[in-house]
Chain A
Amino acid sequence: MVEDASRYSRRRLLSMIGATAGASVMYQAASSLGFAAESPYRGPVKLEGSPKGASVLILGAGVAGLAAALELTKAGYKVQVLEYREKPGGRSWTLRGGDRYAELGGATQEVGFDQGQYLNPGPWRIPYHHHAVLDYCHRLGVALEPFTQVNYNALVHARDAFGGKPQRYRTVAADFQGQVAELLAKVTNKGALDGAVTKEDQEILLEALREWGALEKDLSFRPGEACSQRRGYVKDPGGGLSGVPEHSKPVALGDLLKSGLWRSIGIGAGYEFQTTLFQPVGGMDQIPRAMAKALGEGVITYNAKVTAIRQTGGGVTVTWADGAKPGTTRTASADWCLCTIPLSVLSQIDKDVSPAMDAAINAVPYHASVKVGLQFKRRFWEQDEGIYGGISYTDLPITLISYPAFGYGSPGKGVLLGAYSWGPYAYEFTALPPEERVRRAVEFGAEIHPQYKAEFETGVAVGWHRVPWTLGCFGAWTEESRAEHYKNLCAIDGRLLLAGEHASYLPAWQEGAILSALDAVTRLHQRVVSL
């Protein structure tokens, strides 16, 4: 079979598998052959068979712990959840006006946003193929609205390009694509592709390049109707005697290449950022709130700081400090424990685990990341610049400015994501006091939108290494560390198993956290029913 397979085309092989072995086998085969690379989520997990009265203690009420609690409860387990914070969600978190956020080190920010305004410091967008997250939203009635990733009228900016003047995404994308198409058409006509493409296909290629690049009939990219229909006009078509349009002129290819702005026009083509993306109406924490509500009263204990995890043959006993009554230590026991505590924290907790799992827990550093939310007195990006949602990219330390994807045209205030940075910039932002992070974000952003200076009102800044319940943004696996430790991290270790984004191939995404939880409870249930 292995030898024979090479004689078949992939498509033909798939049709054979599909005819003989059913759709699920075909799906697996398709994945291994590189087609159909979608989320493995195939609808709600079905945990069939009785858990025979078994109990599970879940550590952490982020989306992983909450999803596991919902499914295990449904399957008949006795479930209790311990959560460090005073509310559900973990990193799935929304900051609103009136919230107080005290970061590690004690600096406390009073969020001054107006009602209806918010910042999602953690996850903020949901790709259409994150089927598990979306399914929970649909089942729990969490309203979604489109999140705009690509906005052709948003800006791309580099300090050293075009005198520091931001350019429109639309013109950079059109000019880059148009001139690359023109170049490729030229070399095709000079015969440079004769060895690689048949004469017949070259004709088709030229036609494709003309359409793809918005070229004229002579295969040039130059001012005219085709070009303006991509990059826009100097004067848009209008009505009556004053409506004559004025065509715009492309930026020279050399200037475009040297500007580096082409780096910013491909992001939305990535699988995780392709249309359609969603956000929950009113903030990301609508998801954990709905999950916790569905779980019902009395299942989650808040303000519970886990200090030790002991395995005793037939069960697990967890010691926790009760934040509601400082100085009080309590214990909770169950037959099994599903731990979703971030590895940054779990690595410090006294626990009974195998040396292999311990090594895995200790093998994952946590990334730095920072987000800054800025409230402005008016939505100048809409009113002055016609930017409705989407993201402007810059090489400034703020990395990007994202415009709110709701409330379009409202005469009131608006909150921008004024910085979202990684790497050295994120460390430097985190090391500054919160008010200084905000001040810098405003100062940098004013280089792109001069209106910042007059319109800024209040801001909040979250550096993820300072977040008390995670001590970092997400687990930084490498190919090497994953190869050595990932299986050991996910294996059932006595009576304990782990879940969370760190136990997934979708680091930092809620989808990864939920899929890891569903995978864990499925394996746990198989173990329980087979005992």
Chain B
Amino acid sequence: MRLSITLALAGALLAVGTAGANDTKSGGSFASPNRFVQDDGEALYKSICQGCHMPDGKGAQGAGAYPALATNPNLEAGAYPVTLVVNGNRAMPGFGGVLDDAQVAAVVNYVRTHFGNSYEDPVQPAEVHDARPAKH
């Protein structure tokens, strides 16, 4: 069924993207309206981060900019990207409510070891837990 739909549509579209529905490392899993379920850092990057920071991690420039994550020295201390992903920063929304500690650690570790970054000290889920705002 799914295959036949894809084939029927392929000719009508400019190009069929690289993301396949069954590829766990790709985006577009659309598993839940309320949170992300992927546990793989690359899959999470491709489902969330690349919407703004772009597939190559180089960011983008319009009336305002999305900063590049590629070869970004601000990623050296793992706590910094952890805090940004959990709590957001300025216009960037926080994802603490839709990602658990292990997911945040996974996506941060993916970014810190890709796009020209090679920080080999992975952040741990416990560090993510500590970055969450204290419960009242």
The segment out of A119-127, A270-278, A465-473 that lies at the interface is A465-473
Per the bound structure, the CA–CA distance linking A232 and B12 in Å amounts to 38
Indicate which residue in A343, A433, A456, A468 contacts B9 across the interface (CB closer than 8 Å). Answer: A456
Interface bits B17-44 vs A (CB < 8 Å: 1, else 0): 1010000000111101111100000000
CB of A439 within 8 A of CB of B16, answer: yes
With both chains docked as a complex, state the minimum distance between the C-beta of B104 and any C-beta of chain A, in angstroms. Answer: 15
With A345-B63, A345-B64 already in contact, the answer to whether A428 and B88 are too (CB < 8 A) is no
Q: Does B134 contact A (CB under 8 A)?
A: no
Per the bound structure, the CA–CA distance linking A514 and B72 in Å amounts to 40
Interface bits A458-502 vs B (CB < 8 Å: 1, else 0): 100001011111111000100000000000000000000000000
Per the bound structure, the CA–CA distance linking A306 and B63 in Å amounts to 8
Q: Does B77 contact A (CB under 8 A)?
A: no
CB of B5 within 8 A of CB of A424, answer: no
CB of B15 within 8 A of CB of A435, answer: yes
Q: Does A438 contact B (CB under 8 A)?
A: yes
Which chain B residues numbered 1 to 18 have a C-beta less than 8 Å away from chain A? 2, 4-6, 8-9, 12-17
Q: Does B126 contact A (CB under 8 A)?
A: no
- In the complex, what residue of chain B is closest to A102 when comparing beta carbons? B62
Number of A-B contacts (CB under 8 A): 135
Interface bits A407-447 vs B (CB < 8 Å: 1, else 0): 00000000000000001110111111101101110110010
Which chain A residues numbered 264 to 315 have a C-beta less than 8 Å away from chain B? 305-306
Per the bound structure, the CA–CA distance linking A427 and B49 in Å amounts to 8
Q: Does A259 contact B (CB under 8 A)?
A: no
Indicate which residue in B13, B17, B61, B91 contacts A365 across the interface (CB closer than 8 Å). Answer: B91
Q: Does A397 contact B (CB under 8 A)?
A: yes
Per the bound structure, the CA–CA distance linking A454 and B60 in Å amounts to 37
CB of B64 within 8 A of CB of A442, answer: no
CB of B5 within 8 A of CB of A433, answer: no
Q: Does B54 contact A (CB under 8 A)?
A: yes
Q: Interface extent on A, as a size class?
A: 35 or more
With A432-B17, A435-B15 already in contact, the answer to whether A368 and B93 are too (CB < 8 A) is yes
CB of A364 within 8 A of CB of B91, answer: yes
With both chains docked as a complex, state the minimum distance between the C-beta of B86 and any C-beta of chain A, in angstroms. Answer: 13
With A344-B91, A347-B90, A348-B65 already in contact, the answer to whether A425 and B33 are too (CB < 8 A) is yes
- In the complex, what residue of chain B is closest to A341 when comparing beta carbons? B63
Per the bound structure, the CA–CA distance linking A344 and B52 in Å amounts to 12
With both chains docked as a complex, state the minimum distance between the C-beta of A464 and any C-beta of chain B, in angstroms. Answer: 10
A129 to chain B: which residues have CB within 8 Å? none
Per the bound structure, the CA–CA distance linking A442 and B55 in Å amounts to 23
CB of A365 within 8 A of CB of B88, answer: yes
Q: Does B71 contact A (CB under 8 A)?
A: no
Q: Does B51 contact A (CB under 8 A)?
A: yes
Q: Does B113 contact A (CB under 8 A)?
A: no
A326 to chain B: which residues have CB within 8 Å? none
Per the bound structure, the CA–CA distance linking A442 and B9 in Å amounts to 8
- In the complex, what residue of chain B is closest to A84 when comparing beta carbons? B63
A306 to chain B: which residues have CB within 8 Å? 63
B60 to chain A: which residues have CB within 8 Å? 104-106, 466
A442 to chain B: which residues have CB within 8 Å? 5, 9
CB of B12 within 8 A of CB of A397, answer: no
CB of B28 within 8 A of CB of A427, answer: no
Per the bound structure, the CA–CA distance linking A472 and B91 in Å amounts to 8
B34 to chain A: which residues have CB within 8 Å? 423-424
CB of A443 within 8 A of CB of B14, answer: no
A364 to chain B: which residues have CB within 8 Å? 91
Residue of B4, B35, B60 with most partner-chain A CB within 10 A: B60
B12 to chain A: which residues have CB within 8 Å? 456-458
A345 to chain B: which residues have CB within 8 Å? 63-64
With A366-B91, A436-B17, A436-B28 already in contact, the answer to whether A443 and B5 are too (CB < 8 A) is yes
Indicate which residue in B17, B50, B93 contacts A439 across the interface (CB closer than 8 Å). Answer: B17
CB of B9 within 8 A of CB of A466, answer: no
Indicate which residue in B35, B50, B94 contacts A431 across the interface (CB closer than 8 Å). Answer: B50
Q: Does A367 contact B (CB under 8 A)?
A: yes
With A431-B27, A436-B17 already in contact, the answer to whether A362 and B50 are too (CB < 8 A) is no
> Which A residues fall within an 8 A CB radius of B?
84, 104-106, 305-306, 341, 343-345, 347-349, 362, 364-368, 395, 397, 423-425, 427-433, 435-436, 438-440, 442-443, 446, 453-454, 456-458, 463, 465-472, 476
20 contacts between A and B (CB under 8 A): A84-B63, A104-B60, A343-B90, A365-B88, A397-B30, A427-B51, A430-B51, A431-B48, A431-B51, A433-B15, A436-B16, A436-B19, A439-B13, A439-B16, A453-B5, A463-B51, A466-B60, A469-B62, A471-B52, A471-B91
Other than the given A428-B28, A432-B27, A443-B5, 11 more pairs (CB < 8 A) read: A104-B61, A305-B63, A431-B50, A433-B15, A436-B17, A436-B19, A456-B12, A458-B12, A466-B51, A469-B62, A471-B63
